[in-house]
Amino acid sequence: MGEFELIRHYFQRAGANPPGVVLGVGDDCALLAPEPGQRLAISTDMLVEGRHFFADVDPVALGHKALAVNLSDLAAMGARPLGCTLALALPRADATWLAGFSRGLFELADGAACPLVGGDTTKGPLNLCITVFGQVPPGQELRRSGARAGDEVWVSGQLGDARLALDALLGEIELAPEVLARARQRLERPTPRLALGLALRGIASAAADVSDGLCGDLGHILVASGVGAELDADALLASDAISADLRALPRERALHCALAGGDDYELIFTAPAGAHDAVLQAACSAATPVSCLGRITTEPGLRWQDACGRPLDLAWASFDHFA
């Protein structure tokens, strides 16, 4: 199969374009049409074999995850997807792999109304790079820099299970098969929180998605906003933000997975304390659970305490490719 046949067969689809797409795959450029006055939100994420995924990972799951990690960035900005492009380096044109990968990608793209509008295909070590384009009304984007002292700190969904699956796949911990299956689902099929990001426009003061771990990504918000935060580790462990599977493990491992794990693709965000009920309402309208973890402080830095108010030293770095 040649390059152009491959693109046509696996990545070009017939049918009318959605309103935001004037021209999709097949020309020198795609043409997108954001609604008048809206700002374009753009984000790129690359996935490299051996670094972000195992060589034998299910291609359907990989197609899903490659797009999911990008959509998660749009969600964290409060942006609505317009379309995406895919740059793909493949060692060979493996029909089974391509069929699975494109199926996983298109299933999520269809569900998120984020059509594939272009890309590039070349031979080489397996490497995937997706760029997403979205739109957000001026002033309504959820930047990292808007957190203020007194704001509450929230997180969506559950933290730590992706890291738990990774530790198990690397042989560092043994899990019961059904526990591993659940955790693996979180590692390989993260859910981008797009509906929540949209619902938090005008409510959240700052937001980021949790890709490198709660401590690290909340840390980005704190630095960008020039503030600090006080969080209760035991309250976190007891909250809905921790799965029963993770809570059943020794405290140290549960905390490490939840705080420094990464690959969660949940939203960490802040909102004024007076907007507490508005946050709960937004979460309800987006059908996405959220948990309140603590408070933003004037004093910079991230401080953890236990249930008795004793400070905890949880100085784990979040994931850094060059550390």
263 is in an annotated binding site: yes
**CA 69 – CA 190 distance, rounded (Å):** 8
As a residue count, the chain comes to 323
Residue closer to Mg ion (CB basis): 17 or 121: 121
CB of 27 to ligand ADP, least distance (A): 5
Minimum gap (Å) between residue 156 Cβ and ligand ADP: 30
Among Mg ion, ligand ADP, none, the one that 119 touches (CB under a kind-dependent 5 to 8 A) is ligand ADP
Q: Which is nearer to Mg ion, 94 or 120 (CB)?
A: 120
Distance CA 143, CA 252 (A): 32
CB of 20 to Mg ion, least distance (A): 22
Residue with Cβ nearer Mg ion (89 or 280): 89
- Answer whether 228's CB lies under 8 Å from 290's CB: no
Between the CA atoms of 243, 245, 251 and 255, what dihedral angle is there, to the nearest 10 degrees? Answer: -40
**Which DSSP letter does residue 74 get?**
H
Q: Does 120 help bind Mg ion (rule: CB under 5 A)?
A: yes
- Residue nearer to ligand ADP on the CB measure, 117 or 180: 117
Q: Supply the DSSP string of 296-312, one letter for each residue.
A: EESS-EEEEE-TTS-EE
Applying CB under 6 A, the residues found at the interface with ligand ADP are 7, 11, 25-28, 86, 88, 116, 118-121
CB of 89 to ligand ADP, least distance (A): 10
Which positions ≥6 away from 297 have C-beta within 8 Å?
149, 227, 228, 229, 230, 303
Contact 90, 55 (CB under 8 A): no
Residue 110 touches Mg ion, criterion: CB under 5 A: no
Closest to ligand ADP by CB, 104 vs 118, is: 118
Q: Contact at 8 Å (CB) between 290 and 153? A: no
| Structural contact between residues 90 and 126, judged by C-beta atoms closer than 8 angstroms | yes
Cβ at position 3, least distance to ligand ADP in Å: 7
Strands 80-90 and 116-123: parallel
**Is 53 known as a binding-site position?**
no
Contact 45, 73 (CB under 8 A): yes
Q: Which is nearer to ligand ADP, 116 or 229 (CB)?
A: 116
144-153 in b/e form (b: 16+ CB < 10 A) is: bebbeeebbb
Minimum distance from residue 2 beta carbon to ligand ADP (Å): 11
Contact partners, residue 141, CB within 8 Å, separation at least 6: 39, 41, 77, 78, 79
| Per-position x/- string for 220-259, each x denoting binding to Mg ion as judged by CB under 5 A, each - no binding | ----------------------------------------
Query: What, of Mg ion, ligand ADP, none, does residue 20 touch, CB below 5 to 8 Å by kind?
Result: none
Residue nearest to Mg ion (CB): 120
Query: What's the min distance (Å) between Cβ of 88 and ligand ADP?
Result: 4
Alpha-carbon distance of 17 to 47, in angstroms, equals 27
Is 212 labeled as ligand-binding? yes
39 annotated ligand-binding residue: no
The letter for the amino acid at 145 is S
299 interacts with Mg ion by CB under 5 A:
no
Q: Which residues bind Mg ion (CB under 5 A)?
A: 120
Which residues are known binding-site members for Mg(2+)? 28, 43-45, 73, 120, 209, 212
Which residues are known binding-site members? 28, 43-45, 52, 73, 119-120, 144, 209, 211-212, 263, 319
Which residues are known binding-site members for substrate? 52, 263, 319
